[in-house]
Amino acid sequence: MNPPTAPTVLITGATQGLGRGIALELAAQGCTVLLHGRDSGRLEAVAEEVRAAAPQVTVRTYLADLADLDQIHAMADRIRAAEPRLDALVNNAVAGGGAEPLRREVGAQGYELRFAVNHLAPYALTRALLPLFTASAPARVVNVASIGQERIDFDDVMFEEGYEGLRAYCRSKLAMIMATFELAAELEGTGVTVNTLHPAHLMDTRGVREYGLTPVTGIEEGVRPTVRLVTDPELAHTTGRYFDQFTDARAHEQAYDTDARKRLMALTDALVGGSAGPNTE
């Protein structure tokens, strides 16, 4: 069993790729790992893999489809009820450019899929778990973004005109970065830090291959900088930053437009606050 001081870390999208690698590394470091996935079979398989690799640690699983805000809220309720503490959250789950990038997809509430999974889901989950974070503080939120970023068009946030999957992905990742900056400012002084990073360039993941791109780096290249943001004691008070792997870097210029950030967050709060559909805003 873990000692009482073992950090507890929740990793979304833990059934493959970067999330699986992060889970294995954190377990090797003695953390209690909470694994999220949307396929029960894959989720249990990874949980067994982590337990076999690090039999001394505790592993628990949480099932939810992050394209459905109702499932996100329900999962957060289960986590708050079951977990005595939560020291870190790695928002890693992602919808990439897609195998059919010209086919626009939507989530359960009718929101564009990349925006829903890559931005609304991590924000909604983080927001719902804040009581557990603040009770466990110091705590860390790490948002896995991308160097691929594109300006958000506030006249067409759901990308209904001229849709393309990779562009939608890049817009959603910029939204994630903007939300990171806003949430970090809001939580200043609470002991909860919020940072974001580009983990590595074109890692060997299903999303990269599915879109038709050729991977150029292994998963381990992204695991190391991500785990650093979770565990490095020198980053205990670092918050509201965007990293390109290990380097404190500058994101897309729109991320520093305070009016754009506030506009995005007003929209985001309206969308995640109710799950009836896109007209609830």
Catalytic residues: 169
Question: Could you report how far apart the first and last alpha carbons of the chain are, in Å?
Answer: 46
- Tokens representing 216 are 């150029």
Q: How many whole angstroms separate alpha carbon 57 and alpha carbon 59? A: 7
- Tokens representing 72 are 């996100």
Count Cβ atoms below 10 Å from residue 4 Cβ, excluding itself: 7
Question: For residue 212, which phi and psi values (nearest 5 degrees)?
Answer: 100, 10
Contact 56, 31 (CB under 8 A): no
Residue 191's SS3 state is: coil
Q: How many whole angstroms separate alpha carbon 127 and alpha carbon 2? A: 27
Residue 248's SS3 state is: strand
Q: Which residues, 6 or more positions from 3, have their beta carbon under 8 angstroms from its beta carbon?
A: none
Contact 145, 225 (CB under 8 A): no
